Amino acid sequence: MTRTTACYLSVAIFCAVGATAPCFAADEPAKTAAARDTLLYVRTKPPGAIVFVDGKKIGTAGGLFHVEPGRVTIHVELDRHKENSCQVTIRANRVTRVDLILEPEAKAADTGAEKKEPTPAAAATPEAGGKPPAAASPTASMPGAKEAQPAPQGLLNLTYQFQTGKQYPYKIKIEAELEDTIETREGVSLYDVLSANAEQMVLKQSGTLRERTQQRPDRNVQVGFPRFPHMFGPHGFPGFGPSGPAGMTFNHHGHLILSKPLTHLPFLLGDLETLVIEELPADGKLSWHKTRDVLAIEQKASAFPHGPFHSGTQSERPAKEQIDYVLVDTQPDAVRIRKIYAFRSAPEANGSAHFEMSGNGDFTFDRVQGVIRALSMEYTINVNEPSLTLRVPVTVKCRLLTAEEFAAYKQEEEKKRLAMEKANAPKPLERAERVALLRDLRSKDENRAQQAADRLAKAVADDDPAPVARALAPWLRNSNEWAAGAAAKAMVVWATPEAEAALIEATTSENLWIRAAAIDALGKLKSEKAADAIAAQMYRNRMEAGKALKGMGPVAENATIGCLKDRDHWVRGEACGVLGEIGTAVSLKALRKYAEQATGFDLNDANRAIAAIEQRLDSKTDDAKPADRAAAGRPAWRVWHDTSGLFEVEAVLVRFEGGKLTLRKHDGRTIVVPLKKLSPSDQEYVARHFEGK
The CATH number linked to 552 is 1.25.10.10
Q: Please answer whether residues 49 and 61 qualify as being in contact, where contact means their C-beta atoms are separated by less than 8 angstroms.
A: yes
Residues whose CB is less than 8 angstroms from the CB of residue 603 and which lie 6 or more positions away in sequence, other chains included: 595
pLDDT in tens, 364-407: 999 999 999 999 999 999 988 877 788 999 999 999 999 999 99
The CATH number linked to 309 is 2.30.230
User: What confidence category does residue 152 fall into, taking pLDDT thresholds of 50, 70 and 90?
Assistant: very low
C-alpha to C-alpha distances, 501 to 175, 521, 526, 560, nearest whole angstrom: 53, 12, 14, 20
Total structural domains within the chain: 4
Q: How far is CA 127 from the centre of its chain?
A: 59
Residue 297 has pLDDT above 70, yes or no: yes
* pTM recorded for the entire structure: 0.55
Q: What is the rounded distance in angstroms from the CA atom of residue 444 to the CA atom of residue 511?
A: 22
User: What confidence category does residue 91 fall into, taking pLDDT thresholds of 50, 70 and 90?
Assistant: confident
In this predicted structure, which of 105-109, 614-618, 663-667 has the lowest mean pLDDT? 105-109
In this predicted structure, which of 233-237, 459-463, 551-555 has the lowest mean pLDDT? 233-237
Same domain membership, residue 358 and residue 239: yes
Same domain membership, residue 224 and residue 175: yes
Q: List 393's β-bridge partners, or say none.
A: 380
Q: What is the pLDDT of residue 431?
A: 92
pLDDT in tens, 529-547: 999 999 999 999 999 999 9
User: What confidence category does residue 107 fall into, taking pLDDT thresholds of 50, 70 and 90?
Assistant: low
Same domain membership, residue 606 and residue 563: yes
Q: What is the rounded distance in angstroms from the CA atom of residue 266 to the CA atom of residue 322?
A: 18
Residue 404 lies in a domain: yes
Q: Please answer whether residues 667 and 608 qualify as being in contact, where contact means their C-beta atoms are separated by less than 8 angstroms.
A: yes
Same domain membership, residue 506 and residue 590: yes
User: What confidence category does residue 275 fall into, taking pLDDT thresholds of 50, 70 and 90?
Assistant: very high
Amino acid identity for residue 608 in this structure: R
**Average pLDDT over every residue of 320-327:** 94
Strands 167-177 and 181-196, bridge-based pairing: antiparallel
Residue 327 has pLDDT above 50, yes or no: yes
Same domain membership, residue 429 and residue 406: no
Residue 579 has pLDDT above 50, yes or no: yes
Which domain range does residue 491 map to? 424-620
Residue 138 has pLDDT above 60, yes or no: no
Residue 60 lies in a domain: yes
Q: What is the 3-state secondary structure (H, E, C) of 244-281?
A: CCCCEEEECCCCEEECCCCCECCCCCCEHHHCCCCCCC
**Average pLDDT over every residue of 5-34:** 34
Same domain membership, residue 374 and residue 320: yes
Q: Strand locations in 178-244, DSSP E?
A: 181-196, 200-206, 210-215, 230-232
Average pLDDT of the chain?
A: 80
Q: Which of 322, 316, 397, 304 has the alpha carbon at shortest distance from 358?
A: 322
Q: For the packed helices 600-620 and 585-597, what is the interaxial angle rounded to 10 degrees?
A: 160
Same domain membership, residue 208 and residue 352: yes
Between residues 554 and 3, the one the model is more confident about: 554
Residue 108 has pLDDT above 80, yes or no: no
